[in-house]
């Protein structure tokens, strides 16, 4: 087929449409959507049935950085400061010390089992050292996995904040292997500069964007998301220009915006949620096109060994060492260890040594690719089961729902949850006023056999009722559960 603009657009649109439609079937079959996108890209590539020749690590790296920028921004924009404040310290330790320990342990192990020097092994360890924000956000949120306590905000905050550390380690190791005269001592000022400048730029630019959005008063409301698209990229670019970490700046700027009063906040969250999914699909399809399955096949053995070491040894080591400073139960540490999902980010990071011409960069890239496949296939498919096995999953009767898509004020601190009363419920036949409900919680609607009832204190509850309950804070969920007799 002759390569023209029209053909590129046709093939690109068909890949996008097919990926989205296939994701519905894949979800029912238990196949992770992210793995599906990779598979579609591989099928369309040179070694697949599509026979599309694509071998451009530079373009892949560019698309990956742009995609990750928007994914991190979307995740931060939907992350409230109130939810991450209790997990700020353990999240930061996981994002720094945990990443470092994971990188070093995987690196030394890889240099032992693979045909890599210890420096090349540390480079591989750095590339796969962080959990993937796109994978964690999409799986926890799309599957609506409810977790007890502060585990979910901890996992989401860690995945959004540990990419800068892995990026720094990857760039540092790549420079050490490819630049003459570069030493590990040079990494210290680089690290401090990237983190300090990145954090400061993220906070200040986030505040600046809020001021701009609130004051600019555009004539057309549809221009606000378009303006924000440009502002997000500018946050990354300006931070990188002054030597800061752009990924950290983008994530912190989004959290800063969420914490501030900003016009069109809810609509921007919905818009960037769609953009994040688009970026994930584009990123995974591109990475699938870049990889050659025939080159991955010879490294499956060593890749599997390293992947298992990462999942079963290195990640738990980093988690246990990091969370030993805080009061977490062993089963909570075990679950955090299991949610060490690797996604497209390590593959994007693996393009840096490819472009720099580092020895064994092709081998490292193919091993990283297989590690990602193994992580998504094994861990992503079992998160919900592991949460239930460790008794960390919120009961099915009480999960946060987005049934009412209201454009509420930023001052609105309540949450709306749906409660399903089980069969043979202990509150069957009881009036609402007889329940030991928290004073700040309120049953606002009862769905009984698809008939909606506006309740009052004298309304009797029945088994199987679906209750819409307004609660004041996340801590009241357990009180509501106890009052309704839901274990």
User: What one-character DSSP code corresponds to residue 461?
Assistant: P
Note if the pTM is more than 0.75.
no
Tokens of 78: 């939907």
Question: Residue 6: inside a domain, yes or no?
Answer: no
Out of 389, 421, 451, a domain closes at 389
Which runs of consecutive H residues, i.e. helices, occur in 315-412? Answer: 315-323, 330-338, 344-349, 351-356, 361-375, 383-389
CATH number of the domain that residue 444 is part of: 3.30.70.1450
Tens-digit pLDDT profile for residues 412-464:
456 677 888 888 888 888 888 788 877 778 888 888 888 888 887 778 898 88
Which residue from 392, 299, 255 is spatially nearest to 337, judged by alpha carbons? Answer: 392
DSSP annotation string for 49-107: SS-B----HHHHHHHHHHHHHHHHHHHHHT--HHHHGGGHHHHHHIIIIIHHHHHHHHH
Reduce the DSSP state of residue 446 to 3 states and report it: strand
Within a domain: residue 321? yes
* Other beta carbons within 10 Å of 263: 16
Average pLDDT over residues 10-22: 74
The predicted pLDDT at position 140 comes to: 64
Cα angle 432, 438, 442; round to 5: 55
Q: Are 246 and 239 in contact (CB under 8 A)?
A: yes
Kindly state whether residues 349 and 443 are assigned to the same domain. Answer: no
CB 287 within 8 A of CB 347: yes
Residue 24 inside a domain? The answer is: no
Judgement on whether residues 371 and 404 belong to the same structural domain of the protein? no
Backbone φ and ψ of 437, nearest 5°: -80, 145
Which CATH number covers residue 180?
1.20.1530.20
For residues 357 and 178, the answer to whether their CB atoms sit within 8 Å is yes
Top mean pLDDT of 1-15, 138-152, 227-241, 270-284 is at 227-241
Residues 358 and 405 in one domain: no
Residues 131 and 257 in one domain: yes
Residue 339 has, within 13 A of its CA and on its CB side, a CA count of: 31
Residue 150 lies in a domain: yes
Domain co-membership, 411 together with 363: no
Together in a domain, 362 and 404: no
Cα–Cα distance for residue pair 90/323, rounded to 1 Å? 6
Regarding whether 426 and 366 lie in a shared domain, the answer is no
Higher pLDDT, 21 or 382: 382
CB 138 within 8 A of CB 280: yes
The residue from 329, 360, 389 where one domain ends is 389
Structure tokens at 65: 């950085």
256 vs 85: CA distance, rounded Å:
13
Given pLDDT bands bounded at 50, 70 and 90, which one contains residue 199? Answer: very high
Would you say residue 11 lies in a domain?
Answer: no
One domain for residues 324 and 176: yes
Last residue of a domain, one of 370, 389, 408: 389
Domain that holds residue 417: 398-483
Q: Is 235 exposed, middle or buried (0-12, 13-18, 19+ CB in 10 A)?
A: buried
Q: What is the pLDDT of residue 61?
A: 86
At 301, the pLDDT band (50, 70, 90 cuts) reads very high
Region of poorest pLDDT, from 10-24, 177-191, 272-286: 10-24
Please indicate, yes or no, whether residues 358 and 424 belong to a single structural domain of this protein. no
The answer to the question of residue 49 being in a domain is no
On whether both 259 and 408 belong to a single domain, the answer is no
The Cα 315–Cα 337 span in angstroms is: 6
Residues in contact with 250: Cβ distance below 8 Å, sequence separation at least 6, in sequence order:
69, 72, 73, 76, 202, 232, 235, 236, 239
Give the span between the Cα atoms of 465 and 482, in whole angstroms: 16
User: Which range has the top average pLDDT, 4-13, 53-62, 89-98?
Assistant: 89-98
| Residue 264 sits in the same domain as residue 296 | yes
452 or 40, greater pLDDT: 452
What value does the mean pLDDT take over residues 92-114? Answer: 94
Predicted local confidence at residue 198, as pLDDT:
92
Identify whether 329 is part of a domain. yes
Question: Phi and psi (nearest 5°) for 329?
Answer: -75, 160
Judge whether 27 lies within some domain: no
How many Cα atoms occupy the beta-carbon half-sphere of 238 within 13 Å? 16
**Torsion, Cα of 245, 248, 251, 255 (10° steps):** -120
Say yes or no: 361 and 430 in one domain.
no
Q: Into how many domains does the chain fold? A: 2
Tokens, residue 96: 């720094």
Q: In the block, which residue shows the tokens 């946050």?
A: 235
Q: Model confidence over 106-131: pLDDT tens digits?
A: 999 999 999 899 999 999 999 999 88
């Amino acid at each position: 087929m002759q390569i023209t603009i029209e053909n590129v657009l046709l093939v690109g649109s068909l890949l996008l449409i097919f990926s989205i439609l296939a994701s519905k079937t894949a979800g029912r079959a238990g196949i992770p959507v992210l793995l599906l996108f990779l598979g579609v890209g591989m099928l369309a590539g040179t070694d697949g049935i599509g026979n599309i020749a694509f071998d451009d690590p530079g373009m892949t790296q560019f698309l990956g950085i742009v995609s990750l920028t928007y994914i991190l921004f979307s995740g931060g924009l939907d992350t409230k400061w109130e939810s991450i404040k209790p997990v700020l310290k353990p999240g930061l330790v996981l994002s720094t010390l945990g990443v470092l320990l994971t990188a070093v342990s995987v690196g030394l192990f890889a240099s032992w089992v693979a045909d890599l020097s210890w420096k090349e092994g540390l480079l591989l360890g750095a590339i796969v050292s962080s959990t993937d924000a796109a994978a964690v956000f999409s799986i926890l949120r799309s599957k609506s996995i409810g977790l007890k306590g502060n585990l979910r905000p901890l996992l989401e905050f860690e995945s959004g904040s540990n990419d800068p550390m892995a990026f720094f380690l990857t760039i540092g190791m790549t420079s050490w292997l490819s630049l003459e005269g570069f030493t590990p001592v040079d990494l210290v000022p680089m690290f401090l500069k990237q983190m300090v400048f990145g954090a400061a730029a993220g906070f200040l630019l986030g505040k600046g964007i809020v001021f701009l959005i609130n004051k600019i008063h555009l004539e057309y409301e549809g221009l606000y998301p378009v303006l924000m698209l440009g502002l997000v990229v500018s946050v990354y670019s300006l931070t990188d220009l002054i030597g800061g970490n752009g990924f950290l700046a983008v994530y912190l700027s989004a959290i800063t915006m969420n914490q501030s009063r900003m016009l069109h906040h809810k609509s921007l969250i919905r818009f960037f949620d769609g953009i994040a999914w688009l970026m994930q699909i584009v990123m995974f399809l591109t990475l699938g096109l870049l990889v050659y399955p025939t080159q991955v096949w010879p490294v499956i053995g060593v890749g599997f060994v390293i992947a298992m070491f990462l999942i079963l040894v290195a990640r738990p080591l980093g988690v246990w060492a990091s969370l030993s400073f805080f009061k977490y139960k062993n089963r909570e540490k075990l679950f955090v260890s299991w949610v060490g999902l690797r996604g497209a980010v390590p593959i994007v990071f693996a393009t840096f040594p490819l472009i720099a011409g580092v020895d064994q960069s092709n081998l490292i890239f193919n091993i990283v690719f297989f590690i990602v496949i193994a992580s998504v296939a094994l861990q992503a498919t079992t998160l919900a089961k592991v949460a239930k096995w460790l008794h960390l999953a919120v009961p099915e009767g009480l999960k946060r729902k987005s049934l009412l898509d209201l454009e509420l004020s930023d001052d609105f601190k309540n949450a709306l949850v749906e409660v399903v009363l089980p069969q043979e419920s202990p509150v069957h036949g009881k009036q609402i006023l007889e329940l030991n409900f928290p004073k700040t919680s309120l049953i606002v609607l009862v769905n009984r056999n698809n008939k909606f009832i506006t309740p009052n204190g004298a309304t009797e509850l029945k088994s199987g009722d679906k209750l819409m309950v307004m609660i004041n804070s996340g801590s009241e969920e357990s009180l509501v559960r106890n009052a309704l007799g839901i274990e």
